[in-house]
Structure 1
């Protein structure tokens, strides 16, 4: 049976890998991004539908939702580490801008998109949001936003569960093949991130894509309200 999948932030990194994984099967895949040229190029390469959409813009998100009658899988992959604003301003204003940017990109983008698409979800649908190991330790405003994402997911799962809809977060550890650090990851920091894993390797975008694909599969219908840590053992739970 053909399914419809929407991946926000699907033009690069984890989002692109997730879209590519679903595009391999009998699935109609939609990806979003903020840059028209990147969206068009990536959609063509993946054989997906591309939609220009800033997931922090309520109007754009509402227009995105209008494209769907039903939706089987929603993957909230939009997010990242916002670039600091150019120039210097009063300290408190700079702090406020940083926190607002992180909350918008890493929490509100998922909240807005899921709220808009919620009427299109049906029994058997899945909502999967990309979190971070940064929610567990020294993550600053980024980590706080990802921690809030997990807390929101637990509430969302309780609301969607009676309708047969699952909702989970994948908390990724260090993942190579993304532009998260925007070229600013020093060699010693890279070695430290790999060393703290149990399997002594960086994560890959494919690791996350495979986990997303499983959570959207029939075998994961009794998994909901969870934060799944995919980090090679760098952060463990019990």
Structure 2
């Protein structure tokens, strides 16, 4: 019986990895530069997402041009200017990661245009949250906009304005809520009353678009309980 169950799960993973569009939790998604599977975790069906390194190659010697890009699963038929995104996410660093400095990068993109050429995003680096190095802790949460405003550019030019600390870790469910309105975005973590992160002026050029669940290099990301509310 165990062999049969494992075979079915493997077949599902292979099918989802090569699908352009799929249904999860009553929503239709499009996989963009990612490998996707619906898996059982503690008796619940969750979405598993990894970056597809064939569709979107990674060059460790050229970080700026090969990270912070469209590597996500995107909701189809959604156009949203302002609103709220709520989702639970868990990340792990994959075995034999192609990037030794992987931090479990996982987050949410929004105002994603139809061609996947413009969007804003906020993501987490869970392994930084409880590091012994304070500088690493300061880089636990990150905002960026695509294209152009990568984490490395903002770190150099904005002196910490677009990243901050949070008490989070790998291999644990993190409750995330992002509220975005006009130029401002606010992030709440684990149902705290006060925001963990405030972006006063977003830099993206897309004023409306879809929502996407985002991962980066070396990450195995899991998502559940997605809720999107237009404002």
TM-score, normalised by the number of residues in structure 1: 0.31
TM-score, normalised by the number of residues in structure 2: 0.32
Q: Which has the higher relative contact order, 1 or 2, with Cα contacts under 8 A spaced 6 or more apart?
A: 2
